[in-house]
């Protein structure tokens, strides 16, 4: 029998305390964190981290409804396979899982489906980056699917591609060797080049905005400006929890991370949550994007209330003409400036988390109008805290005590 280093340590120090530290507790029949280390001594959970500002919340959005290919079969096979085949310790189970994984891989990697995912993903990412600056990761099932998905994306956006590793907006990051298929060779880099890609991806000002991976960069890899993860690979348990944590790092005004599901990991997220809450943790691994949409609607109602008695229904065609009178209406309300600015700030934050939902897209023009009013009020009015009165805007000029001219 072969013993590991931990066993030698236990034999050498039989009376020592055995303490573990983890952010992703495991609770399986043959692997259980508490059965090895004992009960929890101290818990710092998801809610604590968010409350302290150490991380941001993670939101979940399913895009399965946008795809119409082999849903039932993909879901059936996904339920049967392990998230990472190499984790299987039993040889017979490993071979069985590999067979099921191969069948699922053929369905997921089918050309019509790849094209659908690529088309939806490109549109989603572009809409996402309109409301929040940053980067995204794409997780695919195999290296071959990574390449096919890359090809489908650059077919839609040729300017994203560049053969030079130091240029281009999209790259594949994976391991490989000279013996790999020709299909993979253009995307296999040596260790030094991968380090340069890592540096590029961590730099928010670098044009590299999208990376496609299979296993790399999913654990222990921090990129604060990464705000979205597209998952098209069966994952579960602690592997899933560690992967989605790539998007919960704090960065500038980043309101939250977003996990976009193309393969159906909702049940796995629920199971991961059960394991986490069984460990007495507070806060969900992910919140649904619909929850952010509910907040958006709530804050929109607040602004609608502020505009009671003022008709701005022609804002789509008459936005410029309505900007000044709308601003003056808000400035004429008791504490109107602060109430309006706070509400619009909350609207923009919520929209950045749910703006890719179809129902949220319908509000985009109205939100842009509110944001224009917010910019005008913020930039061109200054209220003297000593004197009283309401400032107003007129023909591009701020009038009325105690206003100051800034336009």
Q: What is the mean pLDDT of residues 128-149?
A: 95
Task: State what percent of residues in the chain have pLDDT above 70.
Answer: 79
Q: How far apart are CA 232 and CA 260, in angstroms?
A: 9
Q: Contact 83/237 with Cβ under 8 angstroms?
A: yes
Q: How far apart are CA 85 and CA 379, in angstroms?
A: 56
At 232 the pLDDT is 94
Which contiguous run of DSSP H or E holds residue 367?
helix 364-380
| CATH code reported for the domain at 54-285 | 3.40.50.300
At 384 the pLDDT is 40
Instruction: Name the pLDDT band for 183 (thresholds 50, 70, 90).
Output: very high
Is residue 212 pLDDT above 90, yes or no?
Answer: yes
| Domain-wise residue ranges, the chain | 54-285, 293-399
Mean pLDDT of the chain: 83
Task: Provide the token pair at 260.
Answer: 């976009």
Identify any residues that bridge with 136 across adjacent strands, giving them in sequence order: 210, 228
Which tens digit of pLDDT belongs to each residue from 303-316?
A: 999 999 999 999 98
At 395 the pLDDT is 47
Which tens digit of pLDDT belongs to each residue from 258-271?
A: 999 998 888 888 77
> Poorest-confidence range of 44-53, 106-115, 154-163, 325-334?
44-53
pTM listed for this prediction: 0.80
Task: List C-alpha distances in Å: 116 to 60, 96, 146, 262.
Answer: 20, 29, 14, 10
Number of Cβ atoms within 10 Å of the Cβ of 17? 8
Q: Which of 45-54, 79-88, 197-206, 386-395 has the highest mean pLDDT?
A: 197-206
Which tens digit of pLDDT belongs to each residue from 139-148?
A: 999 999 999 9
At 159 the pLDDT is 97
Q: What is the mean pLDDT of residues 200-210?
A: 97
At 74 the pLDDT is 67
State the DSSP string of 136-202: EEEEESSHHHHHHHHHHHHHH-GGG--SSTTS-SEEEE----TTS-TTTGGG---HHHHHHHHHHHH
At 7 the pLDDT is 78
Lookup result for tokens 């309505």? 322
Is residue 351 pLDDT above 90, yes or no?
Answer: yes
Q: Listing from the earlier edge strand, what are the strands of the sheet with 58-62?
A: 170-173, 210-213, 135-140, 226-232, 257-261, 58-62, 287-288
Task: Provide the token pair at 97.
Answer: 């899982």
């Amino acid at each position: 029998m072969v013993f590991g280093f931990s066993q030698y340590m236990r034999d050498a120090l039989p009376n020592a305390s055995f303490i573990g530290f983890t952010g992703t507790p495991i609770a399986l029949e043959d692997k259980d964190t508490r059965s090895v280390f004992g009960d929890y001594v101290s818990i710092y959970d998801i809610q604590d981290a968010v409350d302290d500002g150490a991380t941001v919340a993670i939101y979940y959005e399913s895009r399965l409804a946008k795809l119409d290919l082999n849903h039932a079969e993909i879901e059936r096979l996904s339920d049967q396979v392990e998230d990472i085949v190499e984790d299987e310790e039993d040889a017979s189970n490993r071979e069985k899982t590999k067979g099921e994984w191969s069948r699922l891989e053929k369905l997921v990697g089918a050309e019509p489906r790849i094209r659908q995912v690529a088309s939806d993903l490109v549109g989603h990412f572009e809409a996402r980056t309109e409301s929040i600056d940053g980067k995204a990761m794409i997780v695919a099932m195999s290296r071959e699917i990574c390449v096919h998905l890359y090809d489908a994306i650059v077919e839609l956006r040729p300017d994203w591609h560049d053969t030079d590793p130091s240029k281009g907006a999209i790259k594949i990051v994976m391991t490989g060797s000279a013996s790999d298929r020709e299909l993979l060779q253009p995307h296999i880099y040596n260790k030094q080049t991968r380090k340069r890609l890592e540096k590029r991806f961590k730099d928010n000002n670098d044009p590299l905005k999208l990376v496609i991976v299979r296993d790399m960069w999913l654990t222990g890899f921090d990129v604060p400006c990464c705000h979205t993860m597209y998952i098209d690979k069966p994952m579960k348990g602690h592997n899933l929890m560690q992967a989605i944590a790539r998007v919960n790092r704090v960065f500038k005004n980043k309101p939250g991370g977003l996990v976009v599901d193309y393969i159906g990991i909702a049940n796995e997220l629920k199971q991961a949550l059960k394991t986490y809450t069984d460990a007495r943790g507070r806060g969900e691994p992910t919140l649904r994007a619909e929850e952010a949409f509910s907040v958006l609607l709530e804050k929109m109602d607040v602004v609608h209330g502020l505009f009671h008695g003022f008709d701005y229904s022609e804002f789509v065609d008459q936005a410029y003409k309505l900007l000044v009178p709308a601003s003056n209406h808000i400035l004429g309300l008791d504490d109107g400036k602060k109430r309006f600015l706070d509400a619009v700030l909350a609207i923009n934050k919520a929209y950045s988390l749910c703006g890719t939902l179809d129902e949220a897209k319908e509000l985009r023009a109205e939100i842009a109008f509110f944001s224009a009013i917010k910019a005008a009020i913020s930039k061109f009015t200054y209220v003297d805290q000593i004197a009283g009165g309401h400032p107003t805007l007129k023909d591009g000029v701020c009038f009325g005590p105690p206003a100051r001219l800034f336009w």
